[in-house]
Amino acid sequence: MTMKFSPLDAHHRALSAKMVPFGGWAMPLAYADGTLAEHAACRTSATMFDVSHLGTVRVEGPGSLQRLQAVLTNDLGKIGPGRAQYTHLLNEEDASVLDDIIVWWIEEDVFDVMPNASNTDRVVSALGGVDTTATRAVIAVQGPDARRMIASFCIDASEVPRFNVRRIEVCGHPCVVAGTGYTGEDGIEIAVPIDGAADVWNALLQAGVTPAGLGARDTLRLEAALPLHGHELGEGITSLQAGLEWVVAWNKNGFRGRTALEAEKARGIARRLIGISIDGRRPARDGSTIVDAEGAEVGFVSSGNFSPTLGHCVALAFVSPSVSVGDKVQLDVRGTKIPGTVVTTPFVEKKK
């Protein structure tokens, strides 16, 4: 696979970012001050993430709404133009989540469907449309001070409400701005044409927004218990197992994978996603097995890391439905049993 580069690649390198491959792209893992500092900046002030590696598929024209409705799990009829919605694309045979997606409903018959980095071709195959990823950069600005800092150079962008979408000129460039993100904090995401990416990035820098990389993005989303495709969603994992039945619109005529998902709902799920709090700083990484108080294996970790906000480790895990909040478990970390407690999620409450 040929490595792809963000339109902002040179800007990351100029800031001494550590670049790593991710989903076929070279992306910043962290900048000079490191992941912990970037994580803290997002929780207390504002950070910006280059998420240009995420896909954009433009679906437009007559019949576009009906096409999306017939394939994706959620019901766009609940919203309307100028809004965004989280949804799933399922495998027809077993209802596995092929991708979790944000749909930006820009205008009456204009949709930007935002798949994960490596799933764009799969989404185009399912929905049609045009892959426009190469025409734009996407910058996610997140944190309690994000809107105030953005307002210093673009008030209109700073005022886009949560899960709303608007066409706005930012730094002289025609952008699509959405009140979405992946950190548990308030903020917006800006899709800007490639020739304007540097102008918007530099305006954010001048406003005092801290650049942050994939490392902080992962610890932030884990604290907020937001699923990551390939970990909490993916092959063999359904919306029901992941605790995301709220994105399934049973009331609409149909969607891809509905029959298989209905069958799973009728028989009951064999596993479910839960949160585990772990004392100390030694994380249980994905794949670590979990045993209950009697020593019986009950599941495995899907994502685990140190929580900078809480000061100890946390994990998301798939376990037997018999496991309950408050249960004591042990996690196998390279042969060492580490104690944990099943807790409610999110680990860190999402801020509105």
pLDDT band at 53 (very low <50, low <70, confident <90, very high): very high
Question: Is the predicted pLDDT of residue 32 greater than 60, yes or no?
Answer: yes
Residue 351 is classified by DSSP as: P
Is the distance from CB of 123 to CB of 114 less than 8 angstroms? no
Task: Note whether 148 and 162 are same-domain residues.
Answer: yes
Instruction: Give 272-325 pLDDT, tens digit per residue.
Output: 999 999 999 999 999 999 999 999 999 999 999 999 999 999 999 999 999 999
The DSSP bridge partners found for residue 330 are 291, 339
Nearest to 211 by CA among 34, 35, 38, 8: 38
Measured CA to CA in angstroms, residue 69 lies from 15, 72, 108, 118, 233 at distances of: 43, 6, 14, 23, 21
Q: Are residues 81 and 22 in the same domain?
A: no
Q: What CATH number is associated with residue 309?
A: 2.40.30.110
- Cβ atoms < 10 Å from Cβ of 28: 28
Report yes or no: 119 and 127 within 8 Å, Cβ to Cβ: no
Contacts of 162 (CB under 8 A, 6+ apart): 179, 180, 186, 352
pLDDT at 349: 83
Domain assignment present for 250:
yes
Among 163, 194, 223, give the residue marking a domain's end: 223
- Per-residue pLDDT, 244: 98
Closest to 205 (Cα-Cα) out of 31, 35, 39: 31
Tell me, yes or no, whether 298 and 249 share the same domain.
Answer: no
CATH of residue 78's domain is: 3.30.70.1400
State which residues form the domain around 250: 57-115+238-268
Strands 136-142 and 187-193: antiparallel
What is the identity of the amino acid at 230? G
**44 in the same domain as 138:** yes
pLDDT of residue 352 exceeding 60: no
Mean pLDDT over 181-186 rounds to: 97
Q: State how far the Cα of 335 lies from the Cα of 279, in Å rounded to an integer.
A: 17
Domain C-terminal end among 158, 193, 223: 223
Given 188, 223, 258, the domain boundary residue is 223
- Say if strands 4-5 and 25-30 run parallel, antiparallel, or are unpaired: parallel
pLDDT value for 118: 85
On whether residue 155 sits in a domain, the answer given is yes
Is there a single domain that holds both residue 101 and residue 218?
no
If you average pLDDT over residues 176-201, what whole number do you get?
98
Tell me, yes or no, whether 124 lies in a domain: no
Has residue 95 been placed in a domain? yes
The CATH number for 180's domain is: 3.30.1360.120
Shared-domain flag, residues 43 and 147: yes
Cα–Cα distance between 218 and 213 in angstroms, integer? 9
Based on the domain organization, do 189 and 217 belong to the same domain? yes
Q: Are 28 and 18 in contact (CB under 8 A)?
A: yes
**pTM, rounded to two decimals:** 0.96
- The pLDDT score that the predictor gives to residue 117 is 80
Give the CA distances from residue 48 to residues 10, 41, 154, 198, 214, in Å, rounded to whole numbers and listed in that order. Answer: 16, 10, 15, 13, 11
Averaged pLDDT of the chain: 96
Q: What is the pLDDT of residues 222-253, one digit of tens each?
A: 999 999 999 999 999 999 999 999 999 999 98
How many separate domains does the chain show?
A: 3
Q: Domain check: are 257 and 296 in the same one? A: no
Q: Across the chain, how many H-helices and E-strands are there?
A: 9, 20
Tell whether the model's pLDDT for residue 13 goes beyond 70.
yes
- 211 in the same domain as 173: yes
State how far the Cα of 201 lies from the Cα of 210, in Å rounded to an integer: 11
Asked if residue 316 belongs to a domain, the reply is yes
Q: Quick check: 319 and 274 in contact, CB under 8 A?
A: yes
Encode pLDDT of 75-112 as tens digits. 999 999 999 999 999 999 999 999 999 999 999 999 99
- For residue 54, is pLDDT > 70? yes
β partners of residue 340: 278, 329
Residues 89 and 12 occupy one common structural domain: no
Do 311 and 327 fall into the same domain? yes
- Provide the CA 255 distance to its chain's centre, in angstroms: 22
| DSSP H or E stretch at residue 147 | helix 146-151
Rg for the chain, CA atoms, rounded? 20
128 found inside a domain: no
**Model confidence pLDDT, tens digit, residues 99-153:** 999 999 999 999 999 998 889 999 999 999 999 999 999 999 999 999 999 999 9
Same structural domain, 263 and 287: no
C-beta of residue 31 within 8 angstroms of C-beta of residue 213: yes
Confidence tier at 350 by pLDDT (50, 70, 90): low
Q: Which of 328, 315, 308 is nearest to 284 (CA)?
A: 315
